[in-house]
Amino acid sequence: MLFRSYAAVGSLVLLTSAASHAGELPAPVQALANQGWEIHDPFDAPSGLQGFGASTQGQEAIIYLTPDGEHAIVGTLVDSEGNNLTEPQLDTHVRVALEAQTWQLLEESHWIQDGDTDAPRLIYTFTDPNCSYCQQFWEQARPWVDAGAVQLRHIMVGVLAPDSPAKAAVLLGASDPEAALARHKAGEAIVVTAQPQDVEEQVYTNNQLFEALGLYATPTSAYQRETPSGDTRIGRIQGMPDEEELIEMMGSETPEAG
């Protein structure tokens, strides 16, 4: 799993797949939804079964509805040769949906733009003002950002030092956050001053998201990638990327200096 505890993440989503299915689910599946299961889109399973992707308490599952619609089975489906038929269904019918929710949470977090808004590549990165590796990542990314190939969105968190939340709030609360972040990355010290309560709460909610995703290191960066089957998935690099990871995340080789 790219991100831990989708149950914790799901609690932050205002509209869930289960809510969208309210009143439309077969009774046994609805019973599980009523118990707090998140239900995803249905699909046709072998032997007349109907499948539903589901997740509960951080666990992924496939629910199989019997042909009469009266019973539901949660578990692993195997064929006559013992092949696990449920694993690929989990990937298609659970993880894709959950990663879409995660991407929505990243979009709705409190971030500072860094780069061209029209850049073809978008990367969210959790940034702590006291993080020396975040500074290194900033410098690594400059060729792509300066070329207009990548837009970084720095989700400001305060997790490394006692004054990290206050420093993150100063940057988020600046009249021009992008310029303030650039000055900080260029070596300007952050002078901690009191910020409005709503700005301090932005840092707090970013910290909550960081924890809910099961992250432990800054920078942690997330980007979208397309699989051979055409699904959009999230790629994640926790900590400093190596050269190969950096190129994959940025979507291209290092741009030539203009």
Which of these ranges, 2-6, 29-33, 80-84, 161-165, has the smallest mean pLDDT?
A: 2-6
Residue ranges covered by each domain of the chain: 6-107, 110-250
> Mean pLDDT lowest for which of 49-53, 92-96, 129-133?
92-96
Residue 5 has pLDDT above 50, yes or no: no
In the chain, the percentage of residues whose pLDDT exceeds 70 is 90
* 236-245 per-position pLDDT tens digit: 999 999 999 9
Q: What is the mean pLDDT of residues 56-68?
A: 90
Quick one: angle between helices 132-146 and 243-250, nearest 10? 50
Whole-number pLDDT of residue 107? 97
Query: What backbone torsions phi and psi does residue 169 show, to the nearest 5 degrees?
Result: -65, -40
CA angle 229, 235, 37 (to 5 degrees): 80
Q: Does domain 110-250 have CATH number 3.40.50.1820?
A: no
Strand order in the sheet with 220-226: 111-114, 150-156, 121-127, 220-226, 232-238
pLDDT at residue 27 tops 70: yes
Output the average pLDDT for the chain. 89
Neighbouring-strand partners of residue 233:
225
Q: Considering the entire predicted model, what is its pTM? A: 0.82
Superfamily covering domain 6-107:
Disulphide bond isomerase, DsbC/G, N-terminal (3.10.450.70)
Q: Are strands 111-114 and 72-74 parallel, antiparallel or unpaired?
A: unpaired
Task: Out of 49-63, 104-118, 141-155, 236-250, pick the least confident.
Answer: 49-63
Q: Using one digit for the tens of pLDDT, what is the confidence trace for 174-192?
A: 999 999 999 999 999 999 9
Examine the pLDDT at 4 and tell me if it is beyond 90: no
| Better pLDDT: 76 or 257 | 76
Whether 6-107 and 110-250 share one fold: the answer is no
Residue 56 — pLDDT band, cuts 50, 70, 90?
confident
Q: What angle do CA 169, 175, 178 make, to 5 degrees?
A: 75
